[in-house]
Structure 1
Amino acid sequence: MLFDTSTTALVLTDPQNDFLSPTGATWELVGKSVEENNTVEHIEQLLVSAKASGYEVFVSPHYYFPHDHQWEFGGTLEKMMHEIGMFDRPGPLDLDGFSGSGADWLERYKPFLQDGKTVVCSPHKIYGPEQNDLVLQLRKRGISKVLLAGMSANLCIESHLRELLEQGFDVAVVADATAAAQHPELGDGYAAALINFNYIAGVVLTTERAIEML
Protein backbone atom coordinates (compact mmCIF):
# COMPACT_ATOMS: atom_id res chain seq x y z
CA MET A 1 0.00 0.00 0.00
CA LEU A 2 1.05 3.55 -0.74
CA PHE A 3 -0.55 6.34 1.28
CA ASP A 4 -1.45 9.78 -0.03
CA THR A 5 -3.57 12.54 1.43
CA SER A 6 -6.18 12.50 -1.34
CA THR A 7 -7.19 8.83 -1.05
CA THR A 8 -6.02 7.67 2.41
CA ALA A 9 -7.50 8.36 5.84
CA LEU A 10 -6.82 7.40 9.44
CA VAL A 11 -9.85 5.68 10.99
CA LEU A 12 -10.02 5.25 14.76
CA THR A 13 -12.52 3.05 16.54
CA ASP A 14 -13.55 3.78 20.12
CA PRO A 15 -10.73 6.07 21.33
CA GLN A 16 -12.73 6.44 24.53
CA ASN A 17 -12.14 6.34 28.27
CA ASP A 18 -13.95 3.07 28.90
CA PHE A 19 -11.30 1.29 26.82
CA LEU A 20 -8.16 3.36 27.27
CA SER A 21 -8.27 4.92 30.73
CA PRO A 22 -7.33 3.09 33.96
CA THR A 23 -10.67 4.34 35.31
CA GLY A 24 -12.58 2.91 32.33
CA ALA A 25 -15.18 0.17 32.62
CA THR A 26 -13.07 -2.45 30.81
CA TRP A 27 -9.62 -1.68 32.20
CA GLU A 28 -9.53 -4.88 34.25
CA LEU A 29 -9.88 -6.85 31.01
CA VAL A 30 -7.92 -4.75 28.52
CA GLY A 31 -5.47 -2.75 30.65
CA LYS A 32 -2.58 -5.21 30.47
CA SER A 33 -2.82 -5.41 26.68
CA VAL A 34 -3.10 -1.63 26.35
CA GLU A 35 0.03 -1.15 28.44
CA GLU A 36 2.02 -3.91 26.71
CA ASN A 37 1.29 -2.40 23.29
CA ASN A 38 1.67 1.24 24.39
CA THR A 39 -1.69 1.61 22.67
CA VAL A 40 -2.55 5.02 24.10
CA GLU A 41 0.77 6.53 23.04
CA HIS A 42 0.70 4.89 19.62
CA ILE A 43 -2.78 6.21 18.81
CA GLU A 44 -1.63 9.69 19.80
CA GLN A 45 1.45 9.36 17.58
CA LEU A 46 -0.74 8.39 14.64
CA LEU A 47 -2.97 11.39 15.27
CA VAL A 48 -0.01 13.76 15.43
CA SER A 49 1.46 12.37 12.23
CA ALA A 50 -1.81 12.26 10.29
CA LYS A 51 -2.75 15.81 11.22
CA ALA A 52 0.72 17.17 10.52
CA SER A 53 0.84 15.49 7.11
CA GLY A 54 -2.64 16.57 6.03
CA TYR A 55 -4.50 13.27 6.23
CA GLU A 56 -8.17 13.23 7.15
CA VAL A 57 -9.14 11.52 10.40
CA PHE A 58 -12.40 9.70 11.00
CA VAL A 59 -13.73 8.32 14.27
CA SER A 60 -16.23 5.49 14.55
CA PRO A 61 -17.38 5.83 18.18
CA HIS A 62 -19.41 3.55 20.41
CA TYR A 63 -22.32 4.92 22.46
CA TYR A 64 -25.19 3.21 24.21
CA PHE A 65 -28.43 5.04 25.02
CA PRO A 66 -31.19 3.86 27.39
CA HIS A 67 -33.20 2.28 24.55
CA ASP A 68 -30.19 0.13 23.60
CA HIS A 69 -30.43 -1.65 26.93
CA GLN A 70 -33.83 -3.06 25.95
CA TRP A 71 -32.38 -5.50 23.40
CA GLU A 72 -33.59 -9.04 24.03
CA PHE A 73 -30.45 -10.97 23.02
CA GLY A 74 -26.74 -10.56 22.34
CA GLY A 75 -23.31 -12.16 22.32
CA THR A 76 -21.05 -12.64 25.33
CA LEU A 77 -19.11 -9.36 25.20
CA GLU A 78 -22.12 -7.46 23.90
CA LYS A 79 -24.07 -8.48 27.01
CA MET A 80 -21.12 -7.58 29.21
CA MET A 81 -20.91 -4.07 27.74
CA HIS A 82 -24.54 -3.47 28.65
CA GLU A 83 -24.13 -4.95 32.12
CA ILE A 84 -21.17 -2.75 33.08
CA GLY A 85 -22.67 0.43 31.59
CA MET A 86 -19.95 0.77 28.97
CA PHE A 87 -20.14 3.87 26.74
CA ASP A 88 -23.43 4.85 28.37
CA ARG A 89 -25.06 8.19 27.61
CA PRO A 90 -28.46 9.45 28.81
CA GLY A 91 -29.74 9.95 25.25
CA PRO A 92 -28.68 10.69 21.67
CA LEU A 93 -29.47 14.40 22.10
CA ASP A 94 -28.30 14.65 25.70
CA LEU A 95 -24.69 15.33 26.74
CA ASP A 96 -25.46 15.56 30.45
CA GLY A 97 -22.55 14.04 32.35
CA PHE A 98 -20.67 13.26 29.15
CA SER A 99 -17.47 15.19 29.77
CA GLY A 100 -14.91 12.91 31.39
CA SER A 101 -17.26 9.93 31.34
CA GLY A 102 -16.42 6.50 29.97
CA ALA A 103 -18.03 7.47 26.67
CA ASP A 104 -15.88 10.59 26.29
CA TRP A 105 -12.60 10.76 24.36
CA LEU A 106 -9.40 10.16 26.23
CA GLU A 107 -8.39 13.66 27.35
CA ARG A 108 -5.06 13.67 25.51
CA TYR A 109 -6.81 13.00 22.19
CA LYS A 110 -9.25 15.91 22.43
CA PRO A 111 -7.02 18.52 20.75
CA PHE A 112 -6.95 16.29 17.66
CA LEU A 113 -10.51 14.97 17.68
CA GLN A 114 -12.15 18.29 18.54
CA ASP A 115 -10.20 20.46 16.10
CA GLY A 116 -13.20 21.05 13.84
CA LYS A 117 -11.71 18.91 11.09
CA THR A 118 -11.98 15.34 12.38
CA VAL A 119 -15.07 13.53 11.12
CA VAL A 120 -16.92 11.94 14.05
CA CYS A 121 -19.36 9.42 12.64
CA SER A 122 -22.61 8.26 14.18
CA PRO A 123 -22.11 5.45 16.71
CA HIS A 124 -21.69 1.84 15.78
CA LYS A 125 -23.77 -0.40 18.00
CA ILE A 126 -22.11 -3.79 18.28
CA TYR A 127 -18.68 -4.12 16.64
CA GLY A 128 -18.77 -3.19 12.95
CA PRO A 129 -19.60 -0.03 11.00
CA GLU A 130 -22.68 -1.48 9.31
CA GLN A 131 -25.00 0.62 11.50
CA ASN A 132 -23.23 3.98 11.19
CA ASP A 133 -22.20 6.41 8.46
CA LEU A 134 -18.46 5.68 8.31
CA VAL A 135 -18.52 4.20 4.81
CA LEU A 136 -20.68 7.06 3.52
CA GLN A 137 -18.36 9.68 5.01
CA LEU A 138 -15.27 8.00 3.56
CA ARG A 139 -16.76 7.69 0.09
CA LYS A 140 -18.04 11.28 0.08
CA ARG A 141 -14.43 12.38 0.48
CA GLY A 142 -12.99 10.06 -2.14
CA ILE A 143 -11.20 7.85 0.37
CA SER A 144 -10.27 4.38 -0.89
CA LYS A 145 -7.51 3.40 1.57
CA VAL A 146 -7.85 3.21 5.34
CA LEU A 147 -5.25 3.12 8.08
CA LEU A 148 -7.15 1.46 10.93
CA ALA A 149 -6.39 1.73 14.65
CA GLY A 150 -8.20 1.96 17.99
CA MET A 151 -10.08 -0.42 20.24
CA SER A 152 -10.53 -3.25 20.53
CA ALA A 153 -8.52 -5.59 18.34
CA ASN A 154 -10.64 -8.73 18.02
CA LEU A 155 -13.99 -6.94 18.20
CA CYS A 156 -14.43 -3.47 16.69
CA ILE A 157 -11.13 -3.31 14.80
CA GLU A 158 -11.56 -6.74 13.23
CA SER A 159 -15.22 -6.09 12.44
CA HIS A 160 -14.41 -2.73 10.85
CA LEU A 161 -11.59 -4.36 8.89
CA ARG A 162 -13.86 -7.04 7.48
CA GLU A 163 -16.69 -4.69 6.55
CA LEU A 164 -14.43 -2.06 4.98
CA LEU A 165 -12.79 -4.75 2.87
CA GLU A 166 -16.20 -6.00 1.75
CA GLN A 167 -17.07 -2.39 0.83
CA GLY A 168 -14.05 -2.20 -1.46
CA PHE A 169 -11.54 -0.31 0.67
CA ASP A 170 -7.85 -1.19 0.93
CA VAL A 171 -7.18 -1.50 4.65
CA ALA A 172 -3.97 -1.40 6.68
CA VAL A 173 -4.15 -2.26 10.38
CA VAL A 174 -1.75 -0.76 12.92
CA ALA A 175 -1.23 -3.76 15.17
CA ASP A 176 0.36 -1.97 18.14
CA ALA A 177 -2.19 0.86 18.11
CA THR A 178 -4.89 -1.47 19.38
CA ALA A 179 -5.30 -3.94 22.23
CA ALA A 180 -7.86 -6.45 23.48
CA ALA A 181 -9.30 -8.26 26.46
CA GLN A 182 -7.40 -11.05 28.14
CA HIS A 183 -9.85 -13.37 29.87
CA PRO A 184 -9.04 -16.58 31.78
CA GLU A 185 -11.91 -18.48 30.13
CA LEU A 186 -12.53 -16.67 26.84
CA GLY A 187 -8.83 -16.37 25.95
CA ASP A 188 -6.47 -13.71 24.61
CA GLY A 189 -8.41 -11.47 22.24
CA TYR A 190 -5.29 -9.68 21.02
CA ALA A 191 -3.52 -12.89 19.97
CA ALA A 192 -6.67 -14.02 18.17
CA ALA A 193 -6.91 -10.71 16.33
CA LEU A 194 -3.30 -10.73 15.16
CA ILE A 195 -3.82 -14.03 13.39
CA ASN A 196 -6.83 -12.70 11.52
CA PHE A 197 -5.17 -9.36 10.75
CA ASN A 198 -2.36 -11.21 9.02
CA TYR A 199 -4.82 -13.32 7.05
CA ILE A 200 -7.20 -10.53 6.08
CA ALA A 201 -5.70 -7.03 6.01
CA GLY A 202 -4.00 -5.46 3.03
CA VAL A 203 -0.99 -4.94 5.28
CA VAL A 204 -0.29 -5.09 9.02
CA LEU A 205 1.95 -2.31 10.30
CA THR A 206 3.64 -1.11 13.45
CA THR A 207 3.00 2.48 14.47
CA GLU A 208 6.57 3.36 13.58
CA ARG A 209 6.20 2.00 10.05
CA ALA A 210 2.77 3.61 9.60
CA ILE A 211 4.19 7.01 10.51
CA GLU A 212 7.02 6.54 8.03
CA MET A 213 4.47 5.78 5.32
CA LEU A 214 2.33 8.77 6.24
Structure 2
Amino acid sequence: MTSYDPKITAVLCVDLYNDFLSDGGKLFPWIKDIAAENNMMENLRTIVRTARTSGLTIFHVPHHRWESGDYVNWKYPSPYQLGAAERQAFAKGTWGGTFHDEFQVQPGDIVATEHWASSGFPNTDLDQLLKRNYKEKIILIGLLANTCLEATGRIGMELGYHVTLVRDATSARSHEALRAAMDINGPTYAHEVLTTRELIAAITSNAT
Protein backbone atom coordinates (compact mmCIF):
# COMPACT_ATOMS: atom_id res chain seq x y z
CA MET A 1 0.00 0.00 0.00
CA THR A 2 1.07 3.56 -0.65
CA SER A 3 2.87 5.42 2.12
CA TYR A 4 1.90 8.96 3.05
CA ASP A 5 4.97 10.98 4.00
CA PRO A 6 3.66 14.11 5.74
CA LYS A 7 6.26 16.24 3.97
CA ILE A 8 4.60 15.59 0.60
CA THR A 9 1.00 14.69 1.50
CA ALA A 10 -2.07 16.90 1.82
CA VAL A 11 -5.64 16.08 2.81
CA LEU A 12 -8.07 18.02 0.65
CA CYS A 13 -11.32 18.77 2.50
CA VAL A 14 -13.79 19.50 -0.27
CA ASP A 15 -16.89 21.60 0.43
CA LEU A 16 -17.31 20.77 4.14
CA TYR A 17 -20.06 23.37 4.56
CA ASN A 18 -23.08 23.32 6.86
CA ASP A 19 -25.36 23.21 3.82
CA PHE A 20 -23.96 19.74 3.12
CA LEU A 21 -23.10 18.35 6.54
CA SER A 22 -25.63 19.74 9.00
CA ASP A 23 -29.27 18.96 9.66
CA GLY A 24 -31.11 21.94 8.24
CA GLY A 25 -28.54 22.48 5.50
CA LYS A 26 -30.00 23.07 2.05
CA LEU A 27 -28.22 20.08 0.49
CA PHE A 28 -28.13 17.85 3.56
CA PRO A 29 -31.20 15.86 2.42
CA TRP A 30 -29.27 14.87 -0.73
CA ILE A 31 -26.55 13.03 1.15
CA LYS A 32 -27.76 12.20 4.64
CA ASP A 33 -28.93 8.59 4.09
CA ILE A 34 -25.84 7.37 2.26
CA ALA A 35 -23.63 9.40 4.61
CA ALA A 36 -25.21 7.60 7.55
CA GLU A 37 -24.69 4.21 5.90
CA ASN A 38 -21.04 5.14 5.24
CA ASN A 39 -20.50 6.51 8.75
CA MET A 40 -19.19 9.48 6.77
CA MET A 41 -19.12 12.09 9.52
CA GLU A 42 -17.14 9.95 11.92
CA ASN A 43 -14.77 8.95 9.12
CA LEU A 44 -14.22 12.60 8.17
CA ARG A 45 -13.46 13.40 11.80
CA THR A 46 -11.07 10.47 12.09
CA ILE A 47 -9.17 11.33 8.92
CA VAL A 48 -8.79 15.02 9.75
CA ARG A 49 -7.79 14.28 13.34
CA THR A 50 -5.26 11.63 12.29
CA ALA A 51 -3.86 13.86 9.56
CA ARG A 52 -3.29 16.69 12.03
CA THR A 53 -1.61 14.50 14.64
CA SER A 54 0.53 12.83 11.96
CA GLY A 55 1.70 16.10 10.45
CA LEU A 56 -0.22 15.98 7.17
CA THR A 57 -1.36 19.40 5.97
CA ILE A 58 -5.09 20.09 5.74
CA PHE A 59 -6.14 22.01 2.63
CA HIS A 60 -9.67 23.42 2.51
CA VAL A 61 -11.08 23.32 -1.02
CA PRO A 62 -14.27 25.39 -0.87
CA HIS A 63 -17.02 25.77 -3.42
CA HIS A 64 -17.99 29.26 -4.48
CA ARG A 65 -20.32 30.87 -1.96
CA TRP A 66 -23.41 32.11 -3.72
CA GLU A 67 -24.06 35.84 -4.00
CA SER A 68 -26.91 37.70 -5.65
CA GLY A 69 -26.31 38.05 -9.39
CA ASP A 70 -24.18 34.92 -9.76
CA TYR A 71 -24.45 33.29 -13.20
CA VAL A 72 -27.02 35.85 -14.43
CA ASN A 73 -24.85 37.07 -17.29
CA TRP A 74 -22.87 33.87 -17.87
CA LYS A 75 -22.86 32.55 -21.41
CA TYR A 76 -23.00 28.84 -20.50
CA PRO A 77 -23.78 28.20 -16.84
CA SER A 78 -24.22 24.50 -16.13
CA PRO A 79 -27.47 23.01 -14.83
CA TYR A 80 -25.78 22.39 -11.47
CA GLN A 81 -24.65 26.00 -11.26
CA LEU A 82 -28.14 27.25 -12.05
CA GLY A 83 -29.61 24.85 -9.51
CA ALA A 84 -27.18 26.06 -6.86
CA ALA A 85 -28.15 29.65 -7.60
CA GLU A 86 -31.84 28.80 -7.36
CA ARG A 87 -31.27 27.17 -3.96
CA GLN A 88 -28.75 29.84 -2.92
CA ALA A 89 -26.45 26.98 -1.88
CA PHE A 90 -23.51 27.94 0.33
CA ALA A 91 -24.72 31.55 0.37
CA LYS A 92 -21.98 33.95 1.39
CA GLY A 93 -22.34 35.29 4.92
CA THR A 94 -24.84 32.63 5.98
CA TRP A 95 -24.67 29.62 8.29
CA GLY A 96 -25.06 27.28 5.31
CA GLY A 97 -22.05 28.80 3.58
CA THR A 98 -19.86 28.40 6.67
CA PHE A 99 -17.55 25.46 7.27
CA HIS A 100 -19.06 22.91 9.66
CA ASP A 101 -18.01 23.52 13.27
CA GLU A 102 -15.90 20.36 13.32
CA PHE A 103 -13.99 21.30 10.17
CA GLN A 104 -13.11 24.91 10.79
CA VAL A 105 -9.78 26.29 9.58
CA GLN A 106 -7.05 25.81 12.17
CA PRO A 107 -3.53 27.25 12.39
CA GLY A 108 -1.32 25.58 9.79
CA ASP A 109 -4.24 24.78 7.47
CA ILE A 110 -4.27 26.18 3.96
CA VAL A 111 -7.40 27.53 2.25
CA ALA A 112 -7.64 27.59 -1.54
CA THR A 113 -9.68 30.15 -3.41
CA GLU A 114 -13.24 29.07 -4.13
CA HIS A 115 -14.04 26.97 -7.20
CA TRP A 116 -16.99 27.96 -9.37
CA ALA A 117 -17.83 24.57 -10.84
CA SER A 118 -16.82 21.06 -9.78
CA SER A 119 -13.03 20.87 -9.71
CA GLY A 120 -10.98 22.58 -7.06
CA PHE A 121 -8.20 23.33 -9.56
CA PRO A 122 -9.34 25.51 -12.52
CA ASN A 123 -9.42 29.25 -11.81
CA THR A 124 -8.14 28.78 -8.24
CA ASP A 125 -4.75 28.83 -6.54
CA LEU A 126 -4.93 25.21 -5.35
CA ASP A 127 -2.23 23.89 -7.68
CA GLN A 128 0.12 26.73 -6.78
CA LEU A 129 -0.50 26.28 -3.04
CA LEU A 130 0.16 22.55 -3.20
CA LYS A 131 3.37 22.98 -5.17
CA ARG A 132 4.56 25.86 -3.02
CA ASN A 133 4.23 23.58 0.00
CA TYR A 134 5.92 20.59 -1.70
CA LYS A 135 2.77 18.47 -1.72
CA GLU A 136 2.55 15.83 -4.42
CA LYS A 137 0.16 13.32 -2.85
CA ILE A 138 -3.45 14.40 -2.31
CA ILE A 139 -6.09 12.57 -0.27
CA LEU A 140 -9.61 13.69 -1.22
CA ILE A 141 -12.48 13.69 1.25
CA GLY A 142 -15.78 15.54 1.25
CA LEU A 143 -18.62 16.12 -1.18
CA LEU A 144 -20.04 15.17 -3.57
CA ALA A 145 -18.32 11.95 -4.61
CA ASN A 146 -19.31 12.13 -8.28
CA THR A 147 -19.00 15.90 -8.77
CA CYS A 148 -16.46 18.05 -6.92
CA LEU A 149 -14.47 15.17 -5.46
CA GLU A 150 -14.20 13.32 -8.77
CA ALA A 151 -13.48 16.44 -10.82
CA THR A 152 -10.77 17.57 -8.40
CA GLY A 153 -9.17 14.13 -8.40
CA ARG A 154 -9.24 13.80 -12.17
CA ILE A 155 -7.56 17.13 -12.79
CA GLY A 156 -5.16 16.52 -9.92
CA MET A 157 -3.98 13.37 -11.68
CA GLU A 158 -3.65 15.25 -14.96
CA LEU A 159 -1.47 17.82 -13.17
CA GLY A 160 0.84 15.09 -11.90
CA TYR A 161 -0.41 14.47 -8.36
CA HIS A 162 -0.76 11.07 -6.71
CA VAL A 163 -4.49 10.84 -5.95
CA THR A 164 -6.20 8.88 -3.16
CA LEU A 165 -9.98 8.55 -2.84
CA VAL A 166 -11.63 7.43 0.38
CA ARG A 167 -14.82 5.57 -0.39
CA ASP A 168 -16.49 6.03 3.02
CA ALA A 169 -15.45 9.65 3.63
CA THR A 170 -17.85 11.00 1.05
CA SER A 171 -21.44 10.65 -0.11
CA ALA A 172 -23.65 11.17 -3.15
CA ARG A 173 -27.29 11.64 -4.07
CA SER A 174 -27.69 7.95 -4.96
CA HIS A 175 -25.97 4.61 -4.47
CA GLU A 176 -25.48 4.47 -8.24
CA ALA A 177 -23.65 7.79 -8.26
CA LEU A 178 -21.40 6.74 -5.37
CA ARG A 179 -20.62 3.40 -6.98
CA ALA A 180 -19.80 5.09 -10.29
CA ALA A 181 -17.48 7.55 -8.56
CA MET A 182 -15.62 4.99 -6.47
CA ASP A 183 -15.81 1.69 -8.38
CA ILE A 184 -16.14 2.64 -12.06
CA ASN A 185 -14.64 6.10 -12.61
CA GLY A 186 -12.30 6.29 -9.62
CA PRO A 187 -9.90 3.54 -10.69
CA THR A 188 -9.42 5.22 -14.08
CA TYR A 189 -7.54 8.13 -12.50
CA ALA A 190 -6.96 7.54 -8.77
CA HIS A 191 -3.86 5.72 -7.62
CA GLU A 192 -5.59 4.42 -4.50
CA VAL A 193 -9.26 3.94 -3.59
CA LEU A 194 -9.25 3.11 0.12
CA THR A 195 -11.54 2.82 3.10
CA THR A 196 -10.96 5.09 6.07
CA ARG A 197 -9.58 2.14 8.03
CA GLU A 198 -7.07 1.37 5.27
CA LEU A 199 -6.05 5.00 4.95
CA ILE A 200 -5.53 5.45 8.69
CA ALA A 201 -3.42 2.29 8.80
CA ALA A 202 -1.25 3.61 5.97
CA ILE A 203 -0.85 7.06 7.55
CA THR A 204 -0.03 5.76 11.01
CA SER A 205 2.33 3.04 9.77
CA ASN A 206 4.35 5.77 8.09
CA ALA A 207 4.73 7.50 11.46
CA THR A 208 6.13 4.46 13.24
Judge same fold: TM > 0.5, yes or no: yes
**Helix, strand or coil: the match of 2:122?**
helix
Query: Of the candidates 133, 138, 150, which is equivalent to residue 142 of structure 2?
Result: 150
Residue by residue over 1:129-183, the C-alpha shift from the partner in whole angstroms, topping out at 9 and shown as x without a partner, is 212111110000111111111111000000000110111001111111011113x
Show the counterpart of 2:70.
68
Matches within 5 A, 1:11-50: 11-50=12-51
CA distance in 2, matches of 1:55, 1:117: 10
CA distance in 2, matches of 1:17, 1:34: 14
Matches within 5 A, 1:141-180: 141-180=133-172
Query: Of the candidates 74, 80, 83, which is equivalent to residue 80 of structure 1?
Result: 83
* Contact 1:147–1:173 under 8 Å retained in 2: yes
Query: Of the candidates 176, 192, 202, which is equivalent to residue 188 of structure 1?
Result: 176
How far residue 188 of structure 1 moved from its aligned partner, in angstroms, is 3.3
CA distance in 2, matches of 1:189, 1:85: 23
**Helix, strand or coil: the match of 2:165?**
strand
How far residue 66 of structure 1 moved from its aligned partner, in angstroms, is 2.6
* Contact 2:71–2:81 under 8 Å retained in 1: no
Amino acid at match of 2:80: L
Amino acid at match of 2:177: G
**Helix, strand or coil: the match of 1:2?**
coil
CA distance in 2, matches of 1:178, 1:131: 24
How far residue 68 of structure 1 moved from its aligned partner, in angstroms, is 2.1
**Helix, strand or coil: the match of 1:173?**
strand
Residue by residue over 1:49-102, the C-alpha shift from the partner in whole angstroms, topping out at 9 and shown as x without a partner, is 00001111101101223342423543332221111110111xxxxxxx44xx11
Matches within 5 A, 1:42-121: 42-62=43-63, 63-70=65-72, 71-89=74-92, 97-98=93-94, 101-110=95-104, 113=105, 115-121=106-112
Query: Of the candidates 176, 179, 203, which is equivalent to residue 192 of structure 2?
Result: 203
Show the counterpart of 1:92.
none
Amino acid at match of 2:85: H
Q: Percent identity between the aligned chains?
A: 29
CA distance in 1, matches of 2:112, 2:68: 20
TM-score (norm 2): 0.90
* Contact 2:7–2:135 under 8 Å retained in 1: yes
* Contact 1:64–1:125 under 8 Å retained in 2: no
Amino acid at match of 1:104: T
* Contact 1:122–1:132 under 8 Å retained in 2: yes
CA distance in 2, matches of 1:5, 1:146: 11
* Contact 1:20–1:34 under 8 Å retained in 2: no
